[in-house]
Amino acid sequence: MSPQQTSPKVKRRTVLQVLLSIPALALFREHAVPAAEPPADEFVEINGWILKRSDLA
């Protein structure tokens, strides 16, 4: 389809869809970040104890 044949209504709908999909991208980012975190985050220091986060459950 050439640009000359594109309907102005379709164009607006496409733009709207793109705008609506932007917040969903953050989900991908949130999922990606924990996997990339350094192993040091496994540990937490409380009162001098070096513990695993899971120790606090």
| Contacts to other proteins by CB under 8 A | 39-40, 42-43, 45-52, 54-57
For 10-18, the CB contacts below 8 A with 24+ separation are none
Minimum CB separation from other proteins for residue 38, in Å? 10
Minimum CB separation from other proteins for residue 33, in Å? 21
Output 6 or 42, the one with its CB closest to other proteins. Answer: 42
Minimum CB separation from other proteins for residue 45, in Å? 8
Whether the CB-CB separation of 46 and 55 falls below 8 Å is answered with no
Q: Distance between CA atoms of 25 and 29, rounded to whole angstroms?
A: 7
